[in-house]
Amino acid sequence: MKQGVASVKFEALKVLQINAMAALVLTAMTNGSIAAGDFPDAAASDPNTLGLMQGFPPPTEKRVMQPDSNFFSFPKLRWTVCHIRELMPTKQVSRGLGAPVAFDYALDDGIDAITFTPIGGNKPMTWKESLAANYTDGMLIMHKGKVVYEYYTGCLNEAGKHGAMSMTKSMTGLLTEILVAEGKLDEKAPVSSIVPELKDSAFGDATVRQVMDMTTGLAYSEDYADPKADIWVYSAAANPLPKPADYKGPVGYYEYLQTVKKEGEHGDAFGYKTINSDALGWIISRVSGKSVTDLFSERIWSRMGAEQDGYFTVDGIGTPFAGGGLSAGLRDLGRIGQLMLNKGEINGERLFPAEVADNIAGGGDKAAFGKAGYKTLPGGSYRGMWWVFHNDHGAYAARGVHGQTIYVDPKADMVLVRFSSHPVAKNGVIDPTSLPAYEAVAEYLLGK
């Protein structure tokens, strides 16, 4: 890049205040090695308790806004996750004009009392205790197609929307799997044959499937302590506001992707890098002739009986952030989970071939995934931008930083959706009090 390191870092730091992805990066950088116990608990950090953005106008010290505050720092992020479109430009995911299809309910009061032992712990915890421990903003559990548990607190209510973070990747992956299953996209094709602009980048000789499963070899660093790390240039490119006159870096996701160089061999190891999702968004937009938001609406959102529109954040030229830009309602993501559980069917209509869900649930290359060293996901894999646990229930999930989850358990006929605003971004910190809790609920429901 021609831009100086200091200028890049300065520009990226500005982006951290106005771009969801970049803001998450700052949170991860700040909190990656910090335990949740170092922060106020869920009750004390509740944005309503703190009075964030309350009043007409809100007091200066209670405002969450850009560009004069880092709105994704804790505890401000506990308000921000429900108000992203108030802070940055977005693009709609339309639910269409038809009436929503309401869920059936069979609420189960016994779920709160379910107990489990956290990973690495020796003291039992109740389900209800786990909600607060994980700074849960919303929780939905469905069993046999009916809602058995629904919970809202903090910034979220049943009419609200919440940032899905990297669960967005799984939506992008789902669209790609659909195009592959329908024969509209060849998963073995080199990326350059679909997006010629990526010919000279690291993505050029990777296959579509390698991008889908994040087994690409990319020279891309997310070492936030390194001022020369690629994440700073990427963040500056993603800035949706006009660039300063002296800016000479890439503009938007597409231009940045063309600069990524290759490192290692494609297909050798799993490497969780968000730019794969942005590349995949470009691939499916090129194949379909539609933006990710419009394709998502056309194929899924407008056909599943959604209650609310969703929305994606965008870069400076309006490109939806395919790797983390979605915000949506809790129940609507429950519909996504139910659609996966039902292998493409919902409300008596087939939205995509059953093989799409089967392919995702079957998982990816365990050996490649194992090289990433995820301690809370032993024996797991990654397929079509979904996380596959390979446990006895065949469970798999969409996952996002700060605790976002769509957890699909085929054996228990269960879908679980969690929105959260945990102070620590990394799911490895949250998993010990989450994954065994999900399994305990599944076993409880099986016993019903």
Mean pLDDT for 61-66 is 92
How far, in Å, CA of 141 to CA of 421, rounded?
A: 18
Determine the pLDDT at residue 34: 52
Higher pLDDT, 337 or 18: 337
Determine the pLDDT at residue 35: 61
Determine the pLDDT at residue 223: 67
Determine the pLDDT at residue 28: 37
Q: Which of 10-19, 139-148, 162-171 has the lowest mean pLDDT?
A: 10-19
Burial level of 65, CB count in 10 A (0-12/13-18/19+)?
middle
Determine the pLDDT at residue 53: 97
**Average pLDDT value for the chain:** 92
Determine the pLDDT at residue 248: 92
What whole-number percentage of the chain has pLDDT above 90? 84
Read off the pLDDT band of 10 (50, 70, 90). very low
Read off the pLDDT band of 166 (50, 70, 90). very high
* DSSP-assigned letters across all residues of 33-60: T--GGGS--TTTT-HHHHTTT-SSSPPG
What whole-number percentage of the chain has pLDDT above 70? 91
Taking Cα atoms as reference points, which of 28, 156, 167 lies closest to residue 80?
Answer: 156
The CA distances from residue 366 to 162, 277, 343, 357, in Å, are 32, 20, 23, 18
Question: What b-and-e string marks burial along 75-92, b requiring 16 or more CB atoms within 10 Å of the CB?
Answer: bbbbbbbbbbbebbbbbe
Taking Cα atoms as reference points, which of 271, 276, 270, 252 lies closest to residue 201?
Answer: 276
Read off the pLDDT band of 72 (50, 70, 90). confident
Higher pLDDT, 101 or 6: 101
Q: Are 361 and 409 in contact (CB under 8 A)?
A: no
How far, in Å, CA of 244 to CA of 230, rounded?
A: 20
Determine the pLDDT at residue 225: 62
pLDDT at 356 over 50: yes
pTM: 0.93
Complete domains list, the chain, with CATH: 104-170+290-446 (3.40.710.10)
pLDDT digits (tens, 9 = 90+) for 175-230: 999 999 999 999 999 999 999 999 999 999 999 999 999 999 999 987 656 778 88
How far, in Å, CA of 297 to CA of 335, rounded?
A: 14
How far, in Å, CA of 299 to CA of 297, rounded?
A: 6
Q: Which of 37-46, 206-215, 345-354 has the lowest mean pLDDT?
A: 37-46
Torsion of the alpha carbons at 427, 310, 302 and 97, rounded to the nearest 10: 160
Determine the pLDDT at residue 128: 98
Q: Are 367 and 267 in contact (CB under 8 A)?
A: no
Determine the pLDDT at residue 231: 81
